[in-house]
Structure 1
Amino acid sequence: MFKIVRVENAEHWKRFLNLPGSIYQGDPLWTPMPLESQKQMFNPQSNPVLRHVRYECFIALQDKKTVGRIIAATDDLLKDNRVGLFGGFECINHPEVTRGLFEAASQSLFSRGKTIIQGPATMNTSQQVGLLVEGFRLPPQMMMPYNPSYYKTLLEGNGFYPLLDLYSYQWRQEEAVNQHKLFAVAKRAARIPGIKLRPINLKDTWGEGKKLAELHNQTMTQQWGYVPMEQEEAAYYLAGLRGYTDPELLFFCEVDNIPVGVCLMTPDLGPKIRASRRYGFPRPFGEPKSLRVGVLGVAPDYRRRGVAALLIEKAMKIGIRKGYQRAELSLIMESNTNMNQIITTAVGSRVNKRFRIYEKVIDV
């Protein structure tokens, strides 16, 4: 027998945070988020997103052993006020335990006036989203979703159905084709009067965060799960990158000093994390060979003027110059036809992973 318990005390939190280590104990590809970063996610003093996000966490206990967990979250800024979110889902391969977790999450959301549950989305739709459904043999980049293949069966067996897919692309210099098309479009964009590319100033995360938030709120309004980004959230995000990202990998495209595009890349520290996990302590590790392009956004008025190509060309040149051998471009919604076309035809990249957002009508 098992029981579902609401996380309310230090012992519960310890169980909640430690469960993934048990689920993925024998999986060499698991790339855990640092424990301190996990704790900060739930701390209102550390995570400004919690100003408009409300959450409850639950764990499943079986014979005093933790066998599952889930987060039920609501976002005051989410456009569709019928929708609540689930995230942080981890569970043994047990349909009944899964059902118990989702019943608890659904009841929590229903009590807050929600009639639809969507996810996975950890805390809100601006943070980690999606369930990995294709690409299990490939190691995840740091902070990217990763889960056992049986999670798909557990969700669909509990009445969830696919809402949308998100793609991850892999770029390798030696495999790229048709880049002359990309460079031609980028060259045309470079002729726009007043246009320039410049690194983001990580010494001024507050000022740069204002520009990033404004650009986000222009570029993402038509995307699933859009919530407005506040200046404090953007500044917090940029400050978090400061410790491990080369500032040259973060840059704006501006026209007359007004941002019209942004590209944010981070080095893949996954191999280092996995090596430390394998040996039980940090080990010396060479420079990362892979990048993740996590944000690539263009203001609507400039989407047909080649600015995306200009950003991608700049990203490729920086990556090659700095010795990166490959890059992951993620997550791209399947509905983002323009960006998917640019990546597949002009850049020459191919989908290497697929992530899925699920939905279910709450029935309690």
Structure 2
Amino acid sequence: MKTEYCGILILLIALVAGVAADESVPALPHEFWGTVTIDGSPAPAGTEITAMIGGTGCGSITTTKSGTYGSSSRYDGNRLLVLANEDQAGATIAFLVDGKEAGQTATFTPNGTTRLDLSVGSAVTPTPTPTSSNGGGGSGGGGSPSPSITSAAPTTYTGQASLATSKSGEVQVSTTVRTTDGSGSVTIAAGTTARDRNGKPLGEVSVTTLDSPALPPVPAGNTLGLALTCGPDGATFDPPITLIFTLTEDEWSRIADTSVLHVVWYNPSTGSWEEVAATVDPATRTVTARVSHFSTYALAWPSVLKEVTVSAGQEVATIAPPPAETQQPTSEAIPWPFIGAGCLVLLLAVAGAYAWKKRG
């Protein structure tokens, strides 16, 4: 009886081992997100995107917004999850957009996250296979590859924008954010390391104008013009990013000497404004500075003093004194004692002459 039980147990173990040997170990998914276009136009919401490895579907997603699929933030929408086995790591992934093959491919990297802009139709331009960030520790001495970086012209937004960054904080797509009135902008180039005040990858950027009443005290001898609040406060950039102030023709004409325009930022730890090196371009009426962190920035120039400042110890006059020849003498300038003495001598002389005449 015991022999029969042992035989059955051995048979079951063999069956389980055989099944396990036939199945590959599933790997962590590779996540994708980015833009999607059809014939050069943003793909409409409801477009289906399917990932294929070796002709087999391994993940799909239906877009919910025009022109994009997934999101740079894992908390702001689903991403396209490519599911495969560990032995398929390094395999080429093809993508179908509503059944049409896109001009872009990728390499399957377990636990990777990649921005990949997809396009189908006549406007398709095939792009090199991007590398991907790998959330796992990896093996060997090569380290984890970085996500693909798009070095094309910056994508421009108004007010605020999401920033595509890798897990190390490296910006993947050049991004420009402008104020609503166009008076200021920041441009963060692809490849820049962008982190928030806590050292985490920066996920969002905002630029707004700041009204004069909300500004800290103005530096002595300066006039502050345009002021911007760049956020989030405390974000850092390596290398520095580009900050641009743009003036209208009317604003430019009001400044007596535009060559003295400069940029200052408010340092809350010292309660003072500090100057930043800047370049003035009269042709475009812009002032450009390179900044390594976010704060409050302002365009400044020396105040034009209309007052007439006289020597120390005297008051400051707002109106120049009239010419000397038109000045009227004050009461203190008339020699009244001498006039009184003269009148007295004259009176005595008259009295003496009268007395002399009367005696004769």
The interval holding the TM-score normalised by the smaller chain is: under 0.3
Identify the structure with the greater strand proportion: 2
Structure of greater Rg: 2
Q: TM-score, normalised by structure 1?
A: 0.23
Q: TM-score, normalised by structure 2?
A: 0.23
Larger relative contact order (Cα-Cα within 8 Å, sequence gap ≥ 6): 1
Identify the structure with the greater helix proportion: 1
